[in-house]
Structure 1
Amino acid sequence: MSIAEGEGVDTGTYRHVMGRLAKGVVVLTTTSSGQDHALTANSLTSVSLDPVLLLVCVETDARFHDAARESGVFGISILASDQRALASWFATPGRPLPGQMDRAPHHRGESGVALLDGSLATLECDVRDVHPAGDHAIFVAEVRAARLAADPKAALVHFRGQYSALA
């Protein structure tokens, strides 16, 4: 699969090319109007240490997008390899919002967002900026809390369209 110069980039080829980049898997969570919202993502990037900032990219059509903008806060659970089923569940389009967290053992962070038990690490973030970027938005957020799990496990990664473990 290659594209000749001047023809533009085929989106299918682009998707396969980006699939060759192994990425960690996270679940983003927020609470808006008393309802939990969650989303599986793999577009988490550290931005700055002073102040401590990160970014995540969220599809603008995702329910999480509007909920996170409204609440101004979100949580991040960095998934362990044994949390593959949760990654799949929170990546399922159209799943019902009420009760979606019932399948996921979790606790509430100081900000009130759900954080998944058994994750490798969790973060709680305040939204600083949201930048439109095609069919996604880039959320730049300031980290207000970061916690490491006491029991280090293998990480869940996404590579070539599939989940796998990285020890």
Structure 2
Amino acid sequence: MDPDTYRQVVGRFATGVAIVTTRLGEVDHTMTVNSFTSVSLDPLLVLFCAEKLARFHDAVMESRVWGVSVLPAAMEDASRFFAHRGRPLNGQLARWPHHRGESGVALFDGAIATVECVTTAVHDGGDHSIVVGGVTALGTPLDGEPPLLYHEGRYKTL
């Protein structure tokens, strides 16, 4: 199968956009994802996929705690910023208001929903790891804001 055709086909599935965060020692690690989904209601489980080559991957594997900030359309700039590889870790959160969740991870104040998790399982997913987490805290900081979507390689909104 041709990878470009594959991207075109799966890109037709519209997804939400979120930023996943973890904290290892005193350092925050962040990554934009569109591979976040609910898994189970009993127990409460969600998952996201992390590319194995990304430094975020190693950090979240070691810390085993992570937070998800589901982004509104107004936070496209944050999504773009945290999607870039190799950015400096120090001060990376300074441009966006955030707070610490119960687990110590950064959660964005401008998010339309937040989820905190403890890793319960990691599955091989080719060049990614499928990280499953048990939900430990939930929040809906903003209400009524349109979500940021990703479809056919572009940001969109409702």
Instruction: Report which of the two structures shows the higher radius of gyration computed on alpha carbons.
Output: 1
Gaps spanning 5+ residues in structure 2: where? none
Identity of aligned residues (%): 51
Determine whether 1:32 maps to 2:24. Answer: yes
* Within-5 A mapping of 1:1-167: 9-166=1-158
**Which one-letter code corresponds to 2:61 in the other structure?**
R
Runs of 4+ in 1 over 4 A off after TM superposition: none
Q: How many residues align?
A: 158
The TM-score normalised by the length of structure 2 is: 0.97
Matched residue of 1:102: which SS? coil
RMSD between superposed Cα atoms in Å = 0.8
1:150 shift after superposition: 4.4
1:114 shift after superposition: 0.2
For the residues of structure 1 that align with 2:30 and 2:95, how far apart are their CA atoms? 12
For the residues of structure 1 that align with 2:25 and 2:74, how far apart are their CA atoms? 31
Deviation track 1:61-89 (CA, whole Å, cap 9, x = no partner) reads: 11111111111100000000000000000
